Structures are given as C-alpha cells and as structure tokens.
Amino acid sequence: MNAGAPVARAFRIVARAGRARAGVIETAHGPIETPVFMPVGTQATVKALSSGDLERLGPQIILGNTYHLALRPGAERIAALGGLHRFMSWPRAILTDSGGYQVFSLRARRTVDDDGVTFSSHIDGSPQRLTPERAMEIQTLLGSDIAMAFDECPPSDAPRATIEAAMARTTQWARRCLAVAPPTGQLRFGIGQGGVHLDLRRAHLHELTALPFDGFALGGLGVGEAPEIMHGVIDVVAEEMPADRPRYLMGVGTPEDIWRAIGAGIDMFDCVMPTRNARNGQLFVHGGRLNIANTQHRSDPQPVEAGCACECCSTYSRAYLAHLFHAKELLYYRLATAHNLEHYLNLARRARAAIAGGAFPTTPW
C-alpha cells in the first residue's frame, strides 16, 4: 500500500432511507456493518468485560487509545506480544483514537505547539511527547484496523481564533500523518474540527476531504455545547461529508443523539456513556433510563428490561442487581455494563434494519 493512498473502496452503501445509510466497511479483521456503535476499550479492555463477554454481545469493532496504551503498557511491548488484537484476545476489528481527544481532556497537563503536544503523564507526571508521526507509529505498533489522524480538539466554547488555530494545526498534522507509510490493510481517517461554527466546519471539511483518507470523522462535538446546537451542526455538516466513505461522529452520545445523527447520515459512533453510566447505577431502557439505586428496585422481580437478550436481563432480576450495586459486588459492574452495551448495540442493529426496510423513524422508541 502506498503511503497516503486510501484502501480501494473499503466502504460501500447497501441501503438508504432518506439521509440515513446502511453500509459495509471492509477491514483486515472482517466486515463492519453500519450504522455501528463501537464500545470503548481505552486501555485494551472494555471496562468490566472479558473479550469473551464482548464476543457474546457481538460488536464488530471496539476502540483502543493511542495515548493511554503508549503510556501503559507501552506500544512497543504490545507489538512484541503480537499486537493489540492478540494482546487482548480480540478477533474482530479495532479502531484506535490518536490521542487527539486527550489534547482536550488533559488540557491542564499539556502544552501544544505546531510540531505536536507535550503531556505531563497522568500516571507519574513524566513528560510524554506526541507528534503526528509518533501517533501513527504507535497505531502501527498496535496493529489497529482503523487509525485516526492526530488532531487538536479545542473546547466548544473556545474563542473563534483558538478554534481556527486548532483547525490549521489539525490540517497540517493530517498531512504529516498521511506521509507516514501505513501498515498493510490499515485504514486511516481524518478528523474535522471547527467548534459549533458552521462556516468553520465547512471550511475544515473542505480542506480535509482534499486529502486521501479512507474515512472522515467529526471531532470536537459533545464537549460542552447544548445538544440542539450540536445537532444543528451535525444536520448540516454530515450531508456535506464524502458520500463514498464512512462518516464517524466521535464521542457522542445518548441513544437519542445517536439515532438522530444516523438520520442525518452518520455511520459510526463511540461513547463511554454506556459503560460509565453502568458503573454509576444508570441503566438504559427503551424510552429512558433506570437508576438501580432507587429504593423501589430492591424488591422488584422484573428484569431490567423485558425482552432484552443480555445475560443480565435473561437471568437476573432488578432486585438482585440492586443488591449487587448496594453491596458493591464486582458482578454488578459486569452485568450492568453488558446490559447497557446490549442496549446501544441493539440500537444500531435496529437502525440498520429500519434503513434496509426503506423508512427511518425520527425517534428510536
């Protein structure tokens, strides 16, 4: 594969319903049917679940994180052990974030310049340097199926001049990422910025889509702006993203957010919400959320959600789950996480089925 050249037609659309699309992304570890939700496995694990648990839930692709895995246990160590798939015993596709989100989330611990970013490690305070070239090298060592370009993600309420500077830097870094020769079969996605400014979003998308990426992502959304403002941006910009390549909305969000973005033409999603909310006692059900800490669940013999196929709902009651949660038993985290991920994965499956049927409803319930 030539450096900077997209993999030949790694994506195809198989059905449409309005602006919503159902497609297939071909990867080195199998096809991915879109729309797709990708569970987040930042540190080579989706929290509380084994790879066997994940396989039973059926995601076609999960995420790993360049910054975190480079710090611990180290990208070179993972490569020496056979790559990220073998290291975590995961046979299906993996997408790795480039570390660009940590430019936002760890902004109190980092310094940005035109060449890259220096972080003060959140583990031991040691200086850690990420450049576009190093971010791509790490993702090569990890052996991910989809590697994200290194970007600068500014806060949504940053001054316009700050957002413009981040866009310019991200474009230059995208070119440098593409100049690094990719491993055979690895797809590479560019990331668009621009805050909540439609003119900046369009301008940055125009710059990035001139580059030979295999897919394109919207970054810097869901980072503090109101949902309606976020969706206003997505509704306009998604339709202007290349139709022949996957469209990825990074880090968003609630089931309702995802459903609406699918209707706008987005194909790929990830979010920590299902796993994080599970650990905090919040379980997703059709039409809303259930707080397992509430008193009424302690004597409730019903499953969390009738008809849900996950192990939690098919085997245990709300009362049992409430007991585990209040007792801080470790089994709670596994069962609750499995349920919330089943909810999100099934949302994407239902969306695909609706698109294949030719009609995409405005709400998921």
Type and span of the H or E element at 351: helix 330-356
Q: Which residue of the set 53, 114, 270, 300 is catalytic?
A: 270
- Domain positions in the chain are 11-271, 278-337
CB–CB of 38/246 below 8 Å?
A: no
Class of domain 11-271: alpha beta
How far apart CA 314 and CA 322 sit, in angstroms, is 16
Question: Residues 97, 145, 214, 267: which is the catalytic one?
Answer: 97
pLDDT at 103: 87
Cα gap 1→4, rounded to integer Å = 9
Whether 115 is a known active-site residue: answer: no
**Which pLDDT belongs to residue 224?**
87
Q: Which residues contact 170 (CB under 8 A, 6 or more apart)?
A: 100, 149, 151, 152, 191, 192, 193, 204
The segments of the chain whose pLDDT lies below 50 read 1-8
174: enclosing H helix or E strand? helix 160-179
Instruction: Give the total residue count for the chain.
Output: 365
pLDDT in tens, 34-64: 999 999 999 999 999 999 999 999 999 999 9
Nearest Cα to Cα of residue 223 among 290, 152, 289, 172: 152
- List of long-range contacts for 239-243, beta carbons under 8 Å, 24+ apart: 239/19, 239/264, 239/265, 240/202, 240/205, 241/205, 241/209, 241/216, 241/265, 242/209, 242/216, 243/13
114 is catalytic: no
